[in-house]
Every structure is written in C-alpha cells, then in structure tokens.
C-alpha cells in the first residue's frame, strides 16, 4: 500500500537592519525587530493561520487518516512566541491531534553540519528540547537545513539515534532509481533515508500558479491521478516550504481550495494512505543502500550548496563567521553564543547569492537587499562589530 508523506518546512529568519561601517562600535542592534514583526504577522495572516485551520479541519474530517509532518526552526518559534502566540497555539492544536509529526533540525537553520560538528550537535539538541517543550514530542526524524545531506551527515545523525533522515531526490544521485522507495545511507546500519519527489513537490510549490505551465490549472483531482499512477513504490514524499500555501502561492490562485480537496482525492483510491516520515520508515525496509558522498540540498537546479557558498563573498563571510567559534566559546557567555548562532542562519548567505536565469528569480524574490554585494557588506560590517565585542572593544552585547 503506497503512502503519501507530506512534510512542510516552517522558517522565518532573523533579518538584519541596515548596518553601516559607521555603526561599528556604536552599540547598534543587529536585527531589525520591526521588519521581523511585520513579516511574521503578514505571513501568519496569509499562510500559517489559514493553512493550520484547514489542516486541522482535514484531520478531523478524514478521522485522522490525513497525517502530515512539520519542521519548525527555533528562530521562527522564538518569533511566534514573542510576536504572534496565536500561530504557535495553532501548531499546538495540530500536535494534539496525534496526526502530526514534528521533525528535528538545527535550531538556528544553520550550515553548522558543514563547518562544525560540535556546533551542529548542540543546535540539534537545542531544537529537540524546544520541540519537546512546545509539542510534547521527542523527534525521531531528522531533516537538515534546506535538506543539506551527504553520507557523513547520515552517519553522524545515526549516532545521534535518529531513525529517519530526509534528503532531496536529486537525479544526479538517484540515476535510474526512483525516489518513491525507502533507502539506507551508505555506511549506516539502522537509519533510513526518505527522498523528496521533487517533480510532484515542485508542481505545487513553484508551478501551481504559472499560467504558462502546460498542466495549468492544477486541480486536486488531476494531481491525485498523477499520484495514483505511481503505485509501484513504497512512498511518495511531498516536501515543501509551508509558506507555499498563501504566501508563495497567494490565496487568489486557488491554493487553499486545492489543499482542501487534496486529501479526499488521494484517499478515493483504496490502496493509498497518508503517513508521517516515522510511520513510513517503521513499516518499510530499505530497498538498497544509496551512496551520496558529496553534499546535496533541495535548492536550485544544481541541488548542491552553491546557493549559500557559491561565490567568494559567501565563502569569505561564512569562513570568518565559523572562524570565530573558539573565541566565542572561550567567552563562556550565553548571550555572546546566541548572537554568534543567530548570525549562522543560512538566509544571510543566501542573500549574497549571485546566481541568475531561473534560479535568480527565486533569489531576488527572497532578498531584502538591493544586490548580493549589499548583503555581503552589511553582513561583514556586523561581523566586524561582533569581532570587536569578542575582543572586548565593542559596546554591543545583545542581539535583540
């Protein structure tokens, strides 16, 4: 019996204020709290609150046959608690149904897995604690920031006693294989690997409102038919940003109508059901080991790390940041450590991306800066100020 596994990423970064060279050593806060508040409230009204209401209605309507999963970053959970607790309460109501799995990831939505395994482990543990406190779950499934993944990461996560890990079903690693099976990472013995079916996922996340797309308009009936045709696998993994519903695809595109109709159309076929990631791996054995030695992600056409470290500005910024780790830890100051960790949020490096063509449109949409260079200069000014703080020269000792 094939399963449909829906996983949604929920994230809003802590955005930085305009920080110039002349702000260094002046005690100016790094984060733009007003912008963070405005954006969270906007996305809450357009996406989180209406989408959560629909998800709750669907779970009740289909008597818990509709099951989903979320990974909510620590930095957006903090914003919800501070700015819009109603949003957090709506996720708690979903948790109370018993039909929603909450996944574990890096608290600060960072690339620590690439640069510091110690930092990576600590952030994952912080996130696990927060998920347990807020939603009463002890996560057994792990998803890394932006689905960044390779063999080494899988082995590290297995040692941390997770039962499942998510990754992108990239063509260049799958070859002739299908993403619609459970796999095992090379070198692992227990943890199981679930791969995103990016074609079906992106039909909703990116192509839904594209009038030039040959399949436009996408109805729930048509989409369910495509799923039903894939009845020779174990699972169809639909992974996407939760902001797809109402924010990336606006309400007037019909995205919420699609969401309301989707479970019913899938469940019309008696051989199909919805499961969470942990339910999928509990019931299915791996069909093969999968060797992914190089980093992959779910970003852009390349499905690699170039969205964050693809040019000299990005590699310089991230190298300087992680080069501060020893100094930060020597301070033994929780506030300083939190500042450094908030600077790790991967969006800061995404804003510096210089890609263009199809990917460039995506990067421009999410970029609050006029250019990648502006993002780099702003960030490096902040790092210079933070460096002075570490050396006892700066005035600023708090990020919020």
Q: What are the catalytic residues?
A: 146
**Could you give the CA distance from residue 307 to residue 333 in angstroms, rounded to a whole number?**
32
**Could you give the CA distance from residue 93 to residue 97 in angstroms, rounded to a whole number?**
7
Mention every residue, 6+ apart, whose C-beta is less than 8 A from residue 241.
8, 9, 10, 11, 205, 248
Q: Are 11 and 146 in contact (CB under 8 A)?
A: no
Q: Are 369 and 351 in contact (CB under 8 A)?
A: yes
**Could you give the CA distance from residue 84 to residue 39 in angstroms, rounded to a whole number?**
11
SS3 27: coil
Phi, psi of 169 (to 5 degrees): -85, 60
Token couple for 160: 């941390």
Determine if residue 328 is left, alpha or beta; phi over 0 gives left, psi from -120 to 50 gives alpha, anything else beta: alpha
Phi, psi of 185 (to 5 degrees): -65, 145
**Could you give the CA distance from residue 37 to residue 30 in angstroms, rounded to a whole number?**
15
SS3 207: coil
**Could you give the CA distance from residue 24 to residue 381 in angstroms, rounded to a whole number?**
7
SS3 71: strand
SS3 305: coil
**Beta-sheet strands, E only, within 137-257:** 141-142, 164-168, 184-185, 192-196, 235-241, 245-246, 249-250
* Residues paired with 68 in a beta bridge: 6, 100
């Amino acid at each position: 019996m094939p399963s449909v596994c829906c996983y949604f990423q929920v994230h809003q970064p802590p955005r930085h204020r305009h920080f110039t060279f002349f702000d260094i050593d002046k005690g100016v806060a790094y984060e733009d709290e007003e912008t963070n508040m405005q954006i969270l409230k906007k996305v809450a009204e357009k996406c989180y609150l209406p989408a959560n209401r629909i998800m709750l209605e669907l779970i009740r309507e289909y008597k818990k046959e509709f099951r989903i999963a979320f990974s909510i970053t620590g930095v957006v959970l903090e914003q919800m608690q501070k700015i819009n607790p109603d949003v957090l309460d709506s996720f708690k109501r979903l948790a109370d149904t018993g039909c929603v799995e909450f996944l574990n990831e890096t608290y600060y939505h960072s690339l620590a897995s690439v640069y510091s395994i110690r930092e990576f482990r600590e952030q994952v543990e912080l996130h696990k604690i927060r998920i347990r406190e807020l939603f009463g779950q002890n996560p057994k499934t792990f998803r890394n920031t932006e689905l960044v993944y390779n063999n080494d990461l899988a082995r590290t996560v297995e040692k941390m006693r997770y039962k499942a890990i998510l990754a992108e079903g990239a063509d260049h690693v799958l070859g002739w294989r299908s993403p619609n099976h459970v796999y095992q990472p090379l070198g692992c013995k227990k943890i199981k690997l679930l791969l995103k079916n990016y074609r079906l996922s992106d039909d909703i996340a990116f192509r839904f409102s594209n009038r030039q797309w040959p399949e436009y308009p996408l109805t729930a009936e048509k989409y369910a038919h495509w799923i039903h045709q894939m009845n020779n696998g174990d699972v169809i993994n639909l992974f996407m940003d939760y902001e797809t519903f109402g924010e990336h695809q606006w309400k007037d595109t019909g995205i919420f109508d699609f969401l309301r109709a989707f479970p019913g159309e899938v469940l019309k076929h008696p051989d199909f059901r919805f499961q969470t990631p942990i339910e999928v791996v509990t019931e299915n054995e791996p069909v093969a080991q999968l060797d992914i030695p190089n980093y992959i992600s779910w970003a852009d056409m390349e499905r690699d790390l170039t969205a964050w470290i693809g040019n000299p500005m990005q590699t310089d910024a991230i190298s300087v940041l992680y080069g501060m780790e020893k100094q930060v830890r020597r301070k033994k100051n929780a506030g300083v450590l939190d500042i450094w960790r908030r600077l790790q949020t991967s969006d800061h490096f995404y804003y510096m991306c210089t890609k263009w063509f199809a990917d460039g449109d995506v990067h421009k949409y999410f970029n609050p800066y006029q250019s990648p260079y502006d993002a780099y200069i702003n960030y490096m000014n902040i790092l210079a100020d933070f460096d002075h703080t570490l050396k006892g020269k700066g005035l600023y000792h708090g990020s919020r």
